[in-house]
């Protein structure tokens, strides 16, 4: 039972940190008025997220006498991902609904221009259909959903990698 308490406390602490990092990155993008892909911010966000998972798993390991199984690493990592992803998803929805609702229009205009530039033979009907799909994909709800799903997927992969690196079996638990 102590192990699950440690999982919960570690996951809540680092999940909140992960959510705050995600919010800060989204606010930075908004404040700096970044409308195109910014690789520096993407790498920074990716690196900070990896550090959150690493320190979360490291803390869990130290709270468990220096032992962590791959299963526990995945449990902790996914719990961090779900909590951080939920925080990020809620803020993402609020951000694109109320703080930066013009994001939808800007993104659709860019998509339309890219379609015209790359495929000038596209009919008006095809263009309208493609824009209708794009509109659904950039809605606040879709962005929030992508945020949560992305967090869980990324959390699983990173927790798996970190877990494989730092795992240490507890000899007292082996049969």
pLDDT in tens, 68-98: 999 999 999 999 999 999 999 999 999 999 9
Over residues 24-35, mean pLDDT: 90
Half-sphere CA count of 55, side-chain side, radius 13 A: 10
The pLDDT score that the predictor gives to residue 1 is: 46
The pLDDT score that the predictor gives to residue 105 is: 85
The pLDDT score that the predictor gives to residue 109 is: 87
pLDDT at 14 exceeding the cut of 70: yes
What does the block give as tokens for 120? 């000038």
Q: Helical H runs in the chain?
A: 2-31, 39-63, 70-94, 103-118, 124-137, 140-166
DSSP labels, 77-107: HHHHHHHHHHHHHHHHHHIIIII-TTHHHHH
The pLDDT score that the predictor gives to residue 174 is: 67
pLDDT tier at 26, thresholds 50, 70, 90: very high
Which residues is 68 bridged to in the sheet?
Answer: 168
Q: Which residue has the higher pLDDT, 130 or 12?
A: 12
Cα separation, 14 vs 20, whole angstroms: 10
Q: Which residue has the higher pLDDT, 88 or 42?
A: 88
Q: Which residue has the higher pLDDT, 10 or 33?
A: 10
Cα separation, 70 vs 160, whole angstroms: 7
pLDDT at 45 exceeding the cut of 50: yes
Over residues 102-127, mean pLDDT: 81
Q: Output the CA torsion sign for 163, 166, 169, 170.
A: negative
């Amino acid at each position: 039972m102590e192990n699950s308490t440690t999982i919960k406390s570690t996951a809540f602490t680092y999940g909140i940190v992960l959510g705050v990092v995600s919010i800060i990155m989204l606010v930075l993008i908004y404040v700096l008025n970044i409308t195109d892909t910014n690789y520096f911010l993407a790498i920074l966000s990716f690196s900070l997220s990896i550090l959150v998972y690493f320190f979360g798993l490291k803390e869990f390991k130290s709270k468990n006498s220096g032992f962590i199984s791959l299963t526990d690493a995945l449990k902790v990592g996914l719990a961090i991902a779900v909590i951080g992803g939920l925080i990020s998803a809620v803020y993402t929805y609020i951000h694109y609904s109320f703080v930066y609702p013009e994001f939808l229009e800007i993104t659709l205009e860019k998509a339309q221009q890219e379609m015209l530039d790359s495929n000038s033979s596209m009919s008006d009907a095809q263009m309208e259909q493609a824009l209708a799909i794009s509109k659904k994909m950039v809605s606040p709800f879709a962005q929030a959903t992508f945020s949560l799903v992305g967090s869980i997927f990324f959390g699983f992969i990173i927790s798996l990698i970190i877990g494989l690196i730092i795992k240490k079996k507890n000899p007292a638990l082996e049969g």
